[in-house]
Structure 1
Amino acid sequence: MINLAELGIYKVRLPLPFKLDHVNCYAIRGGQGWCIVDAGLNYGPAREAWLDFMKSQGIKPGDVTGIYLTHYHPDHYGAAGWLQELTGAPVYMSSLDAAMVTKVWMRSRQDREVIGSMFRENGVPAELTELIMAGLDEMLALVRPHPRLTVVDDGQEVGLGDYRWQVVLTPGHSDGHICFYLEGHGLLLSGDHLLPGISSNISLWPYAHPDPLDNFLTSLEKSAGLNIQMALPAHGECFSNVRERVGELQLHHRERLQLVKRVAAGGATAYQVCRKVFGDRLSLHEIRFAMTETLAHLVYLKKRGELQVRKSGDVYIYAA
């Protein structure tokens, strides 16, 4: 069993105000100071958790030498600016997701309309679309202030603690999602790419990759080829059955694709498919994820000729 404490790796579990109520960030101690992997959401309980952890370990703000982000989603990126202001440390992220920060978190009114149009054109009722968009607007306050970003990319080595870790690009959950791989010890800081108990949300969004599920399935194959003895995920507990978990996720998406195809076969909007697949007892937060994941599966099927899409009035209809 790998002893994380001997390698200077500490899991920092931060609260989230969602059904998925936590995110695991990691603090890594080395001879030159501490590195942080993922920042959490910028709201009071998460900031308090960071300050409590730093106090418990005797970490002064200046001891933090780098903040590394697996991707741009708010529960990973949100407090990065606050941590940078506190510590003065550089914040690192992939170039792809650094671009998404600009497009999503610094978006203009026009960008907001593009996102709203995507929901409406795929069958989401106008009132529900406005509620979803209002929820996205509320998220903007939880990712400010924005940090100054330094880019790292696939294959690059970075110093986390006393070891050199490889940056591994694993697109799917986001276009520029990165993991950090310590080959000699078989460790992977897996972010949201590999999770033990739930499947990563794979979503289609404007401005992002047009086939995110294909990206994710390719990234799973890439992960299976690494010698990973333990994955340190952003949600849930660390786990060692990585190849088995990759197989489970591949099977999950094969089954989900078949279900989506059956539901859409006779003709349906993405929203109708979403309600059939995910049910109708979802929160606004969950509806947003369910809709964009449904779209990712529909687009995957369309690109492979298993479904067709046409526009009927103002909405798109998928069918076999």
Structure 2
Amino acid sequence: MIISEDGLSVYPVKVPTKYNLRSFNFYLLEEAGSLTLIDAGIDSEECWECFMRTMNENGYTLHDLTRIIVTHNHEDHVGLINRISSIKEIPLYAHQESIHRLKRDKAFFLLRIEFFEQLYQEMGCGAAGEQQVQKLREAVRKNEKNRIQADIVTFADGDTIAGMQVIETPGHSSDHVVFLHEQKKWLFAGDHLISHISSNALVEPDRNGKRQLTLVEYVDSLKKCLQLDAEIVYPGHGEFIYNHKQLITKRLHRINEKAERILRLIRSGISTANQLAYAYYKDKYESQFSLVMSEIIGHLDYLETRHKVQKELKKGVWHYDVQPVKGEEGSYESNN
């Protein structure tokens, strides 16, 4: 499928996957002889072949590429960059917060291990947390080969690149951005908006090891995108989106709904993040531990910033309780 309007063309590259993501999507944008690759899929033979086929069928080679721009650092959005760069040296543009991850900065990834070790201890995760930290240690060694070799040019909120406005949308990742072509009302959204599933606001440290309130940031970013005038949203996975405001409203409602369910669990006497994760996601707790903990911790942060819950450190573990309404001892606020 090719989308063309007034000299601009979008060539989607969609690689099917059996996972719930449904597809890995990335895009070629052509305007006045300039060819921009927006994200770069996952590093697999199938993805590479699909990318090259899309290029060839539309009369392009790698030497026609002007630049690569990425929405965020995750491996399924930057996977082909090293292959492309080994054939042609092409400028790579990314957010400043992407660099230490794309370059596999060893000091940062060791700091990240320490961060999760402390986080899982403080959230009462016990052996499950220790097992996840061990997986992170193994991943640091295994993923060193994924270091992006190309030099990176940084962009920031409000910059213009390839005729599009850069809009910072942290939440799913700290470096996440979307690209808005204001004239055509096209929004290249990465993982910020996906039609068939909600985007995980993954709990992560910043460059200094401080925990980011990722779900709180994600909600703010959703509200920012609610104000954008976009007719077509090109996501990183799944189908194109033609009603992004309706989808955002649905996502915000779902976050509030989930927060209220967690609040009810806390009222029932469950007090630690690990206990809440097991109660809420019993079937997924072991198989998707890190995602489950991100969801629960993120929603606890969200509730805490809205003064719905408070926490107390007891023997090195955070315990959560419902926040009393000011001036009404024994009464609890529950309105969203």
Q: TM-score band, normalised by the shorter chain? A: 0.7 to 0.9
Aligned residues: 314
CA separation of 1:177 and 1:145: change in aligned 2, threshold 3 A: closer
Contact 2:103 2:149 in 1 (8 A): no
How many angstroms does 1:127 deviate by?
Answer: 4.8
TM-score, L = length of structure 1:
0.87
Contact 1:105 1:140 in 2 (8 A): no
1:221 paired to 2:223: yes
Bigger Rg, structure 1 or 2? 2
Show the counterpart of 1:94. 95
How many angstroms does 1:195 deviate by?
Answer: 1.4
How many angstroms does 1:21 deviate by?
Answer: 4.7
- Structure 1, unaligned stretches of length 5 or more? none
Cα separation, 2, equivalents of 1:267 and 1:310: 14
Question: Which stretches of structure 1, 4 residues or more, deviate above 6 A after TM superposition?
Answer: 103-106
Match of 2:283 among 280, 285, 290: 280
1:167 paired to 2:170: no
Cα separation, 1, equivalents of 2:31 and 2:300: 46
How many angstroms does 1:135 deviate by?
Answer: 6.1
Cα separation, 1, equivalents of 2:175 and 2:116: 20
For 2:50, the aligned partner's letter is A
Show the counterpart of 1:147. 150
- Structure 2 matches for 1:111-126, cutoff 5 A? 111-126=112-127
Show the counterpart of 2:200. 201
Secondary structure of 2:183's counterpart equals helix
Secondary structure of 1:203's counterpart equals coil
- Structure 2, unaligned stretches of length 5 or more? 323-336
Deviates more, 1:227-236 or 1:298-307: 298-307
For 1:226, the aligned partner's letter is L
How many angstroms does 1:166 deviate by?
Answer: 1.1
Contact 2:113 2:137 in 1 (8 A): no
Show the counterpart of 1:263. 265
For 1:215, the aligned partner's letter is E
How many angstroms does 1:253 deviate by?
Answer: 0.8
1:4 paired to 2:3: yes
Contact 1:269 1:316 in 2 (8 A): yes
> What whole-Å deviation, never above 9, does each CA across 1:59-117 have from its counterpart, x for those lacking one?
22211111110011221133323322233111111123334545777744343232233
Secondary structure of 1:8's counterpart equals strand
Cα separation, 2, equivalents of 1:104 and 1:317: 34
Looking at secondary structure, tell me which structure has more helix per residue. Answer: 1
> What whole-Å deviation, never above 9, does each CA across 1:175-212 have from its counterpart, x for those lacking one?
22111111112111111111111111112222266322
Contact 1:42 1:143 in 2 (8 A): no
Secondary structure of 1:291's counterpart equals helix
How many angstroms does 1:38 deviate by?
Answer: 0.6
Deviates more, 1:254-263 or 1:78-87: 78-87
Show the counterpart of 1:176. 175
Match of 1:231 among 233, 241, 251: 233
How many angstroms does 1:120 deviate by?
Answer: 3.3
TM-score, L = length of structure 2:
0.83
Cα separation, 1, equivalents of 2:45 and 2:134: 23
CA separation of 1:263 and 1:94: change in aligned 2, threshold 3 A: same
> What whole-Å deviation, never above 9, does each CA across 1:21-60 have from its counterpart, x for those lacking one?
5321111223434211111222333233323333333422
Show the counterpart of 2:325. none
Show the counterpart of 2:33. 32
CA separation of 1:50 and 1:90: change in aligned 2, threshold 3 A: same
1:72 paired to 2:73: yes
Show the counterpart of 1:315. 317
Cα separation, 1, equivalents of 2:90 and 2:260: 47
CA separation of 1:101 and 1:315: change in aligned 2, threshold 3 A: farther
- Structure 2 matches for 1:58-69, cutoff 5 A? 58-69=59-70
How many angstroms does 1:156 deviate by?
Answer: 1.1
For 1:277, the aligned partner's letter is Y
How many angstroms does 1:136 deviate by?
Answer: 7.3
Please provide the CA RMSD for this pair.
Answer: 2.7
Deviates more, 1:140-149 or 1:89-98: 140-149
